[in-house]
Amino acid sequence: MGRVGIQAAGFPGDAREMLARGAQRAADYLAPGFAPNAGATVSNYLASYPLLRGPTSSQLQSAVESQTGPFYQPKTIIGDYAQTAGEFVPGALLMPEGSLATNALRYGLLPALSSETAGQLTKGTAAEPWARAAGGILGAASTWRDLPRALSAPEVAEPLADSELSPAEQLAARRRAQLKVNKAASAEFERGSEEKLKEQDLEYAPQITVQTPSGARTRLDFIARNRITGEIMCIECKASEDAPVTTDQSHAHQEILRHGATIMGVGKPGFPGGMKIPPTQVQIWRPSR
């Protein structure tokens, strides 16, 4: 019951600090070292609004525990689930539509179950808080209710005028169909790229994961070596002219260009795990070049 009251009272402060942490992460990612106080600045700005001015739930709990002693901590997985449910249900009961029981189930128990399951699967890692947040969002009852129908929807490229599928189900079906088309095109382009490597008499290996000195990882479609000069080539294949290079790929490629990388795992014949890749520009192969 103490947690229920604290979570409800500290919700505005928690929301403020969550936004502040997101701003700091974005600043650290986009401009490392240039805005070390971005999160504090955002927090102070948001605190100027009365609704977001209060303390966080952790601050409230610390104040209460200074008088009562530490709250009981769960010692079993079942206890962890019960505690998470207790944190979700109070907010769920405040939802305007539906009965209290319905809201407790739809916006409290099911999101809590998804959130805690995601947290248990990533426990102790940097991904845990993000997994818990994503689990809570995906745990909404509407998501659970619509998922079986969306997964069973037929694959169509365009909406069917006489179809009984909802727009969301048709969209899910079109996306799955498009993913299959893209995957097939990518596989075909990689086969063609492999033939070109053979024609050039290069030693090569497909699908190799490398890691940069900073810890960024990326899977390269091919690593090749000139048999005469020993020059290393790193190749990424894109099956269309507008297929994007992801943000993570771009970040890793820039590091490989500046600092090189190391082959992870067992590697492939001729390119064993632990092999150092010298600073090399990752080539992006597309159909036109």
pLDDT score, position 221: 93
Q: Is there a contact between 174 and 221 (Cβ–Cβ < 8 Å)?
A: no
Number of domains composing the chain: 2
Q: Summarize pLDDT for 76-135 with one digit per residue, the tens.
A: 878 777 877 777 776 666 666 666 777 677 777 777 788 888 777 877 676 676 677 777
pLDDT score, position 162: 46
Q: What are phi and psi of 58, to 5 degrees?
A: -70, -35
Q: Which amino acid is at 266?
A: V
- End of a domain among 86, 113, 146? 146
pLDDT score, position 139: 66
* Residue 170 counted as domain residue: no
Q: Which amino acid is at 197?
A: L
* Residue 154 counted as domain residue: no
pLDDT score, position 230: 92
* Residue 86 counted as domain residue: yes
* Residue 113 counted as domain residue: yes
Q: Which amino acid is at 253?
A: H
Q: Is the dihedral of CA 242, 243, 248, 250 positive or negative?
A: negative
Q: Summarize pLDDT for 215-249 with one digit per residue, the tens.
A: 888 999 999 999 999 999 999 998 888 778 888 88
By C-alpha distance, which of 6, 40, 48, 4 is closest to 23?
A: 40
CA–CA–CA angle 270, 279, 214 (5° rounding): 100
Q: Is there a contact between 57 and 11 (Cβ–Cβ < 8 Å)?
A: yes
Domain containing 105: what range?
2-146
* Residue 275 counted as domain residue: yes
Q: Which two tokens stand for residue 84?
A: 């998470």
The CA dihedral of 219, 220, 224, 225, to the nearest 10 degrees, is: -60
By C-alpha distance, which of 215, 287, 207, 282 is closest to 250?
A: 282
Tell me which residue has tokens 């000195």: 213
Give dist(CA 81, CA 102) in Å, integer.
Answer: 19
pLDDT score, position 113: 81
SS3 state of residue 21: helix
Shared domain check, 106 and 234: no
